[in-house]
Chains A and B, each alone.
Chain A
């Protein structure tokens, strides 16, 4: 049983996919990730956090007119996939995301213990 799910997982990984370009910006309270996913409606986006892996999977949907013959195609695949490894100071439970006009914005806050603190110096 386990072996079967393993092979399914492997074939899914080998299937060629589009690698969406991303911007990753870190500030003192967390990390913001922007990913370009043109053609992805909200219901075709699958954003997962499994352990320390953040996975983006999405399907591109375009309504093509019937009988259209492609003559030039720079985007030839219809699935996006990209995974990132999160570091342990990030709080994977508090990930928030929004998708707007084909741009995904993911906010991963830092865990409280990892946020910068000012340490008061005691006068002895």
Chain B
């Protein structure tokens, strides 16, 4: 019987289970994958006309978020500065530090039919919304019967 080298940690086990479960529900595992748990959190959806990406990146200067689309791969990158002052300051104490700080970069591979020329990005209430139109040829059409 398989025995772990180290004593089992219940939380690590839960984490493993959760990853296993989410990979089960991932219906189309792409070769480029989709790393979960990074920053910012991403939600992706699609309509017949477009692909919609929502990045949960609060407290950013919209001008400093880099959104790049290159050969079907969308990259979101930027830097988030820490709210806490430098730890060297003796008069302040950081009690809890859970918010992300530092550089981030996330990559989404897009379907083949997106139009790289028709991308819009907006930032509102801390959510970056990138909308990419699909090419007209790929959209469902009704064909007239003669």
Contact of A23 among B40, B46, B98 (CB under 8 A): B98
Closest to A73 in B: B43
Is B93 close to A, CB under 8 A?
Answer: yes
Residues of chain B contacted by A39 (CB below 8 angstroms): 56, 125-127
- Check A72–B42 contact: CB distance below 8 A: yes
Give Cα A21–Cα B84 distance, bound, in whole angstroms.
14
- Check A61–B47 contact: CB distance below 8 A: no
Is A69 close to B, CB under 8 A?
Answer: yes
- Check B56–A38 contact: CB distance below 8 A: yes
B38 to chain A, nearest CB (A): 9
B61 to chain A, nearest CB (A): 9
Is B77 close to A, CB under 8 A?
Answer: no
Contact of A67 among B47, B60, B125 (CB under 8 A): B47
Give Cα A72–Cα B53 distance, bound, in whole angstroms.
9
* Cβ contacts B41-71/A at 8 Å (1 or 0 each): 1111111101010101111100000000000
Cross-chain pair count, CB within 8 angstroms: 117
Q: List 27 A-B contacts (CB under 8 A).
A: A22-B96, A23-B82, A23-B83, A23-B98, A23-B99, A24-B94, A24-B96, A25-B93, A25-B94, A26-B95, A32-B83, A39-B56, A39-B125, A39-B127, A41-B125, A61-B125, A68-B45, A70-B45, A71-B44, A71-B45, A73-B44, A74-B37, A74-B42, A75-B41, A100-B59, A102-B59, A102-B125
Q: A26-B95, A37-B126 are in contact. List 5 more A-B contacts (CB 8 A).
A: A25-B92, A36-B126, A38-B127, A72-B42, A73-B43
User: Which 8 residue pairs across A and B have the least CB separation, nearest first?
Assistant: A102-B126, A102-B58, A103-B59, A38-B126, A21-B98, A24-B96, A38-B56, A72-B44
